[in-house]
Structure 1
């Protein structure tokens, strides 16, 4: 599974970060610090990643 972020949609609500601080890092202003190309979710963390994606109120995150 890969997680991607649409930085144009992110409004720094931090809901993903509250699910998992390591998978969903934030920058100093509270916006997503996920790299532009997204990241591959480590084995065994897929359920947590899905919860983080689903937690975003603006659907700025997506898992594929």
Structure 2
């Protein structure tokens, strides 16, 4: 699974990293870190990635299956 956070949509609610800290991390400004970068999600963290993505009120998190 791949994950990408749209930096233009992320407004820093922090729900993703509050719910799934094993996948999402905050930057110094409270936004999700690694915005606008596609990255691989480890198989053991895929469910957390889905939960974090579903928690985003802006829909800024995109997941794609390999």
Q: TM-score, normalization: structure 1?
A: 0.89
Aligned residue number for residue 33 of structure 1: 33
**Structure 2 residues without counterparts, runs of 5 or longer:** none
Residue 36 of structure 1: CA displacement? 2.9
Give the Cα–Cα distance (whole angstroms) in 1 for the partners of residues 62 and 45 of structure 2: 15
State the distance in 1 between where 2:35 and 2:12 align. 15
Residue aligning to 2:5: 5
Give unpaired runs (5+ residues) of structure 1: none
- Cα distance in 2, alignment partners of residues 38 and 53 from structure 1: 14
> How many residues get paired?
64
Q: CA RMSD in A?
A: 1.2
Q: State the 4+ residue runs in structure 1 displaced beyond 3 angstroms.
A: none
Matching residue of 2:49: 49
- Give the TM-score, by structure 2 length: 0.87
Note closer, same or farther for the CA distance 1:30–1:9 as it changes in structure 2 (3 Å cut). same
